[in-house]
Amino acid sequence: MVGVYDICARVQNGFRARLGRIAVPETKLNLSVSRVLYNQGFVSSVTRGTHLGPDANYTPTTNLNVPERRLWLSLKYYQDQPVLRKMSCISKPSRRITCSANQLQLLASGQPWNIVKGVIPGEIMIVSTTRGVVDIQEAVQLGLGGTLLARAG
């Protein structure tokens, strides 16, 4: 779960600094969270690369080059304002927040559950389920519960 904090901080800091692209370590969790952000329209592209920049040609990740591999996220702006205003973690290692499908449905409809506020319009929650990392709406459609990772909006 440490990777969730890292990507949340890097994305939020990148938008605050008005950067065009940011690099995050290439892990399965970071790739899944990046895919959700891309599918929801918060970033314009996700490409693989090294610590120097995105790859021009495909380079497979091997045991020898793992430390230098990065995911490059192209950040999106609308009318010179960041599309993503805030990204924060929900669960932390000392307190993981898991929800059933019914509890996720309450959160998706905007109602609070336990210590978590409901989703407001223009915001998403990222959930780790048995079928991978998805946004809260997809988890509700699939009828899955899971661990709340982060919220972005």
Give the pLDDT means over successive 10-residue stretches in the chain (153 positions): 82 94 94 96 94 89 88 94 92 90 95 92 95 96 96 94
Helix or strand (DSSP H, E) at 107: helix 101-108
Distance (Å, rounded) from C-alpha 96 to C-alpha 102? 18
pTM for the complete prediction? 0.92
User: 34, 35, 46, 52: which is closest to 74 by C-alpha?
Assistant: 46
Placement of tokens 């223009």 in the chain:
122
User: 95, 138, 142, 143: which is closest to 119 by C-alpha?
Assistant: 138
Helix (H, G, I), strand (E, B) or coil at 20: coil
